[in-house]
Amino acid sequence: MDCGFHAREWISHAFCQWFVNEAVTAYGSDSQMTSLLDQMDVFVLPVFNVDGYVFTHTNNRMWRKTRSRNAGSSCLGTDPNRNFNAGWCTTGASTNPCSETYCGTAPESEIESKNLADFIRKNKSIIKAYITIHSYSQLLLFPYSYTYELAADHDELMAVAKGASSALRSLYGTVYTSGPGAPTIYPAAGGSDDWAYDLGVKYSYTFELRDEGQYGFLLPESQIKPTCEETMLAVKYIAAHVQKNLY
């Protein structure tokens, strides 16, 4: 599970920290978390886009991309979620370095993308699920985003997403929409979830956390705790399904 692909999506970073704290404090008392951790390892990358995240604290709260230099351009950064080798730069991405959705010079041109991809490739035999946390829009997405074609496991992925969304909604009534990326939000090539799925990680999900636009990326501090609490329920639902359906 990773958080903080896009620097300004601060609720994402908060969730990874929340998850780790819950895991280490609830182990032994919460039966679901105990069973999960007894049977599975969870690799958590709390801040994927470190340089971008720092920049949102020091210079520009609304920065999205990485902070890498682009040859021949004064514009910095690549959109890391357009930088994976999944229909790379074919749709919903830009070849202009000044664009918010710049796909980079090649797949994995960004050190952040390459390191994550290398880690998943190296551990592919034991990685059964990939969850990437973004904001905002209240969506639970799965492949594909680079094409409108349905994934081979579409029916199962949709059923699990709907179950997870229902678990999330049970706490505070927050409504999520589930579906494949392209028709549900917009077509976008080069995403990490599509790439992981095509590599063979069947349970590949993208969360778009609160809210639906009232505050957007500037979600108030008062919503951090409820957002993390409800999202935990969805992540645990997905994990429980993976536990029972190893492949």
Beta bridge partners of 94: 102
CA distance 184 to 118: 29
Which of 100, 208, 221, 229 does the annotation list as catalytic? 208
Range 64-69 contact pairs with CB under 8 angstroms and sequence separation of 24 or more:
64/6, 64/7, 64/8, 64/100, 65/6, 65/7, 65/100, 65/102, 66/110, 66/112, 68/109, 68/110, 68/111
CB contact set of 75 (below 8 Å; sequence gap of 6+): 97, 98, 102
- The DSSP element (H or E) to which 31 belongs, if any, is helix 31-39
CA distance 116 to 60: 25
Q: What one-letter code names the amino acid at 213? A: G
The CA-based dihedral angle spanning residues 195, 199, 205, 209, taken in that order and rounded to the nearest 10 degrees: -30
Has 208 been annotated as catalytic?
yes
CA distance 219 to 49: 19
Q: Which residues are catalytic?
A: 208
